[in-house]
A and B are shown apart, each in its own frame.
Chain A
Amino acid sequence: MWDSAESFFGSYYIYWISVFLFIGYGASLVTLYLSGIILARRSIKRTKQRSIFLREEDIVSATDIPSVTVIAPAYNEGLTIIENVKSLLSIQYPYYELILVNDGSKDDSLEKLIEEFDLEQQDATFITQPIPTASVKHIYKSRKKKYTHLTVIDKNNGGKADSINAGVNFATTELVIFTDVDCIIEQDAILKMVRPYLEEDDKEIIGCGGGIGIANDSVIKNGILAELRLPSRLIPMNQVVEYIRAFLLGRMAWSEVNGLMLISGAFGMYPRKRVIEVGGFNPKTVGEDLELCIRLRKHMEEKKIPYKVVYLPETLCWTEAPSDYNILIRQRDRWARGLWETISLHKDLFFNRKYSKMGMLYYPYWLFFEFGAPIVEFLGVICIIAFGLLGWIHWPFAILLSFAAYLVGCVFSTIAIFMYVKSFDHYTKPKQVVELLLAAYLEPFYYHPLLLFGQMKGYYKKLFDITSGWGTMTRKGFKITKS
């Protein structure tokens, strides 16, 4: 039918089919985003209203609240491990434990921990390990009474997912929180995170996430965020906007319809019992957070137990974002591979009535719009080049249409920034907000293409079976001020 690329792209039918497909896809996305804004607004308002009846000061003084363990894996974090652990220990919650998992670090992390916290080995002969992991060498507890809440697990290297699983095995609390050791967690984060568990009524809460913020170039003092600053470089600055949009609009909207399929691996809370039931994180995928959430949901659907996955709008965890384009591309490449792996691992969900809305709506959404978007975008670029070369594009019209699409994108980012500024006290200076807006408006010209490149690189690796692991994520480290 088409004997060359020229005749293929030059075909009248192909041209119009492409035009309608791309416009249809774009229009569907805009509709979804618009609905997302409405749902997110409702969800944020409701969360705020509910919190009036369940204040943190009430929770902190209550006796029957669930116990929580924060599990933080660490690999070669010797430079900052002491500050990081002290920061995690300072989280305010009465029934709180911290398990730090040293994942076979090759540096002096363990020695530093032993010295600073006066750790001593515990007898671990009979500790049960419901989830199989790389072998655990020793368990350590502090001799100092002020560090009674700290447990350090020293194990052979098995990766992040494997380390968290080891932490889950050793935890004894009802709820577990997974985080990265270098994350700065808000002091009242657990008090806020347990709220949905305390309020659960007819549906069991199987996962709860909180907003994650970018703290590059911010001032950290005593392990807490003393002064939140905007990153000085454009790439992390764009991630600030991206995270605000993703967490405040995306996650909150999905939370409102109980359609959340992902709780970020940097900060998520789960009932330990359920995590063990599904066998913990899958160490074979690099998208283990998404995969666990989907598996948990499937598990509940199969057991026919009503459940909910929820998100809180507040930023409860601060992290350092990739600060240059190489690391950013590596990160997005990994995320894309993780998404590919998870989507294919759970392909049985696709339009599967057995899994109700998850099979009929949420999974197809992830497939078409989360997994599919970079592909559609990439194809769009190819079509523009091809049709442009063939002279099929009416440039004045195309430029106007692109500008309109760009403005719509700007509106979405502006709304997200507005909602964030209105609801939270993090960015209060006019200069900061103007900088955020400018970063958002510049995003399509240099940041977005980088994301697309990273994602397509990940897909390419999966398509041609090119082995690649987590990749190294070099961090600059936070600016730490000693008191």
Chain B
Amino acid sequence: MDETTILYFIAVVFSILVIYWISIAVSLTYRRNRTARLEKIEITFADIVSRYLYEDPKKPLTLTEITRTLRNVGIKEKNKNNIQFLIRLMIRTQRTIVGSNFYKLQRLYTQIPPYGVSVKKISSWNWYRQARGIRELYEMNQSQYFDEIFKYRNDKNIYVRREAQIALVVFLGWESLRFLPYLKRNMTLWQQIKIVEKLYDLYPKPELKWLHRAYKTDRLFGIKLLMRIIRKYELHAETGYIVDNLNHEDYEVRETAIYCIKTFAVSSSTMEYIKNLYDDIPDATQQGQLLDYIYQNSEIDLDFYMRQLYGTNDDLKLSIAEILWNNGYKEKVQEFYYEQYPNSVLNVG
């Protein structure tokens, strides 16, 4: 290596530096203009939607006016980024509204610009575009594309299959439980949450026959999903399914079951059954959580608590002691305490 080589190297590195300076300048300018443009589109869209949903009889809003106004702020076929932003606004609005205005909005969406953009994305080779296309279609309730989306429900890409599975719920409602608990791949917590939320927002009336059929699933994510549905809809008659999973061998299924049962008050016989399951739970933290539930939702059962007080886990024993202490059984706690520490240790007597 000589000085000339280093000089060449310096020239190359310096050129890279200059390229980045230019990129920074371009990026700053682009962002500034873009922010202003997006703000304009957002305000225009808000105005159109509000006028469309609550039309002034004296000054009705025509489709020509809508299209012209949107074009004026840059919603044209060649401006893909602007169209994408408009779709985002449409989704944001759609997910905010239910009832008659939801259908009114849907009607508006079939008439304004980005028609066709989302469905084209589904056939893309890029997972991101595909998943995004599916999401846009179900968020805007375009159920006519159900068949195209259905085939992606077991896609190898997590985002594509996740969005396709959520689309199933949006389009089929409770009937989608025919498929969901039997899918091949795992479902993330978010997917379960979103499915439950969508089902609840769009299909508030429970159809139990689909739920009962789905109980046959042995997929762990399926079990968790079903328990979350029972919780969200507060299906008191179905709590047995949650109770049966309180001592499931899988940690996360137990965790979900304990979380879900907390929404319900159960009959005294079910509570007795839960107390029997308590000892089968292999994790002390989860036992503690269930103990909380038992305490909050039932009368003091001295035998049960005394049995636990002489158990093996110190944290649990402390919780039991607290319950007994605060519920008129101070002497039982003291008795237990003295048994632990003989008089000689306590330096009394």
Residue in chain A with minimal CB distance to B232: A63
B232 touches A128 (CB 8 A): no
A198 at the binding interface (Cβ < 8 Å): yes
B20 touches A418 (CB 8 A): yes
Q: Which of B127-135, B301-309, B334-342 contacts A (4 or more CB under 8 A)?
A: B127-135
Q: Which of B39-47, B72-80, B99-107, B191-199 contacts A (4 or more CB under 8 A)?
A: B191-199
A481 at the binding interface (Cβ < 8 Å): no
Q: Of B21, B31, B32, B197, which contacts A414 at CB under 8 A?
A: B21
Residues of B within 8 Å of A65, CB to CB, are: 193
Give A137 to B254 CA distance when docked, in angstroms. Answer: 35
- The smallest C-beta distance from A415 to any residue of chain B, in angstroms, reads 6
Q: Of A128, A198, A407, which contacts B188 at CB under 8 A?
A: A198
A411 touches B159 (CB 8 A): no
**Scoring A residues 48 to 60 as 1 if CB is less than 8 Å from chain B, else 0, what string do you get?**
0110111001100
Residues of A within 8 Å of B135, CB to CB, are: 52-53
A50 touches B159 (CB 8 A): yes
Q: Which of B2-10, B63-71, B266-274 contacts A (4 or more CB under 8 A)?
A: B2-10
- The smallest C-beta distance from A94 to any residue of chain B, in angstroms, reads 12
Residues of A within 8 Å of B153, CB to CB, are: none
Give A65 to B193 CA distance when docked, in angstroms. Answer: 8
- The smallest C-beta distance from B71 to any residue of chain A, in angstroms, reads 26
Give A196 to B2 CA distance when docked, in angstroms. Answer: 50
Q: Of B9, B190, B285, which contacts A273 at CB under 8 A?
A: B285
Q: Of B10, B23, B92, which contacts A407 at CB under 8 A?
A: B10
Interface residues of B in 206-240 (CB under 8 A from A): 228, 231-232
Residues of B within 8 Å of A417, CB to CB, are: 24
- Contact status of A400 and B24, CB under 8 A, knowing A53-B162, A126-B321, A200-B189: no
B28 touches A63 (CB 8 A): no
Residues of B within 8 Å of A63, CB to CB, are: 193, 196-197, 232
B3 touches A400 (CB 8 A): yes
Residues of B within 8 Å of A125, CB to CB, are: 322, 325
B345 at the binding interface (Cβ < 8 Å): no
Interface residues of A in 397-411 (CB under 8 A from B): 397, 400-401, 403-404, 407-408, 410-411
Give A409 to B10 CA distance when docked, in angstroms. Answer: 12
Give A407 to B321 CA distance when docked, in angstroms. Answer: 68
Give A201 to B157 CA distance when docked, in angstroms. Answer: 12
- Contact status of A421 and B321, CB under 8 A, knowing A61-B197, A64-B192: no
Q: Of A61, A198, A411, A421, which contacts B189 at CB under 8 A?
A: A198
B202 at the binding interface (Cβ < 8 Å): no
- The smallest C-beta distance from B81 to any residue of chain A, in angstroms, reads 14
B276 at the binding interface (Cβ < 8 Å): no
Give A63 to B318 CA distance when docked, in angstroms. Answer: 31
Residues of A within 8 Å of B298, CB to CB, are: none
A433 at the binding interface (Cβ < 8 Å): yes
Give A126 to B14 CA distance when docked, in angstroms. Answer: 66
User: Chain B binding site: helix, strand, loop or mixed by DSSP?
Assistant: helix
A107 at the binding interface (Cβ < 8 Å): no
B158 touches A410 (CB 8 A): no
B17 at the binding interface (Cβ < 8 Å): yes
Give A407 to B21 CA distance when docked, in angstroms. Answer: 14
Residues of B within 8 Å of A396, CB to CB, are: 3
A415 touches B31 (CB 8 A): no
Q: Of B10, B31, B189, which contacts A404 at CB under 8 A?
A: B10
Which of A64, A202, A403, A415 neighbours the largest number of chain B CB atoms within 10 Å of its CB?
A64
Residue in chain B with minimal CB distance to A57: B92
Residues of B within 8 Å of A421, CB to CB, are: 24, 27-28, 31
B325 touches A126 (CB 8 A): yes
Give A62 to B9 CA distance when docked, in angstroms. Answer: 55
Interface residues of A in 31-72 (CB under 8 A from B): 49-50, 52-54, 57-58, 61-65
Give A126 to B318 CA distance when docked, in angstroms. Answer: 6
B192 touches A201 (CB 8 A): no
B13 touches A126 (CB 8 A): no
B346 at the binding interface (Cβ < 8 Å): no
Interface residues of B in 235-255 (CB under 8 A from A): none
Residues of B within 8 Å of A425, CB to CB, are: 31, 35
B348 at the binding interface (Cβ < 8 Å): no
Q: Of B16, B28, B131, which contacts A411 at CB under 8 A?
A: B16
A64 touches B193 (CB 8 A): yes
A306 at the binding interface (Cβ < 8 Å): no
Residue in chain A with minimal CB distance to B288: A128
B197 touches A62 (CB 8 A): yes
- By a beta-carbon cutoff of 8 Å, the part of chain A in contact with chain B is 49-50, 52-54, 57-58, 61-65, 125-126, 128, 130, 197-202, 273, 396-397, 400-401, 403-404, 407-408, 410-411, 414-415, 417-418, 421-422, 425, 428, 430, 433, 437
- By a beta-carbon cutoff of 8 Å, the part of chain B in contact with chain A is 2-3, 6-7, 9-10, 13-14, 16-17, 20-21, 23-25, 27-28, 31-32, 35, 92, 95, 128, 131-132, 135, 158-159, 162-163, 186, 188-190, 192-194, 196-197, 228, 231-232, 259, 285, 315, 318-319, 321-322, 325
- Top 5 nearest A-B pairs (CB, nearest first) are A126-B322, A198-B190, A407-B13, A414-B20, A400-B6
Q: List 20 A-B contacts (CB under 8 A).
A: A52-B132, A53-B135, A53-B159, A57-B92, A57-B95, A58-B194, A61-B197, A63-B196, A64-B232, A65-B193, A126-B322, A201-B186, A202-B186, A407-B14, A411-B16, A411-B17, A417-B24, A421-B28, A425-B35, A428-B28
- Known: A63-B232, A126-B318, A421-B31; 16 extra A-B contacts, CB below 8 A, are A52-B135, A53-B131, A58-B197, A64-B189, A64-B196, A64-B232, A126-B325, A128-B318, A198-B188, A202-B186, A397-B3, A397-B6, A400-B6, A400-B7, A401-B6, A407-B10
